Amino acid sequence: MRVAALTLCLLFAIGAAAGAEARADARADFEAAVEAVKKGKRDEAISLLTKVIDSKEVDGEQLATMYYTRADLYSQVNKLDEAVADYTKTIELMPDHAAAFHDRATVFALQKKFAEALEDLSRAQFLVPQSPLPYFNRGRVYEMMNRKADAIAEYKKARALAPKMREPQDALRRLGAR
């Protein structure tokens, strides 16, 4: 599923970059990155995206998409500091990029930077208040912090927004809550 989403992000960027002749090399690198992702060659895709970012042939939303995509790939290959840096660049370029806040929070949690994770998840909640994911992941962070009552409260909020979502149900059951 992540590969499909990543491919869609890259394809969007390819289409947006296709307009100018000067961007032909960037487009070829985008296309090669898409193929690398499809083949599971994350390091190759990272290298190609880096080449495009460094070329300065994309800007604005396209550049934010490149940083976001590369951050996701860095996260997948456990290069967490690099992932945080690229999610941060994405947010600098697009301050309302809820997914970048959400995904950077996930990396912060892996790094045991819980305050930063909770702050980013709060921002994601603000940007997309009807999404259960920030609430669910706040619950996970609270659970990692051994703050059971706070975790339960967040899982209940996620469940209220998405009653059929299995993960909050499972978490509440695991914590002995209803």
Percent of residues, the chain, with pLDDT higher than 90:
70
pLDDT at 29: 85
The 10s digit of each residue's pLDDT in 46-63 is 999 999 899 888 888 989
Q: pLDDT band at residue 1, thresholds of 50, 70 and 90?
A: very low
Stated pTM of the model: 0.83
How many Å apart are CA 14 and CA 169, to the nearest integer?
39
Among 158, 166, 102, 159, which Cα is nearest to 135's?
A: 158
Q: How far is CA 50 from CA 4, 33, 63, 71, in A?
A: 20, 10, 11, 11
pLDDT at 26: 79
Lookup: tokens for 178:
């209803």
pLDDT at 3: 47
Q: Is 94 left (phi over 0), alpha (psi -120 to 50) or beta?
A: beta
The DSSP string of 125-143 is: HHHSTT-HHHHHHHHHHHH
Domain spans, the chain: 2-95
The 10s digit of each residue's pLDDT in 147-157 is 999 999 999 99
How many Å apart are CA 164 and CA 105, to the nearest integer?
24
The DSSP string of 80-102 is: HHHHHHHHHHHHHH-TT-HHHHH
Fold of 2-95: 1.25.40
How far separated are the first and last CA of the chain, in Å rounded? 30
Q: In this model, does residue 25 exceed pLDDT 60?
A: yes
How many Å apart are CA 176 and CA 151, to the nearest integer?
12
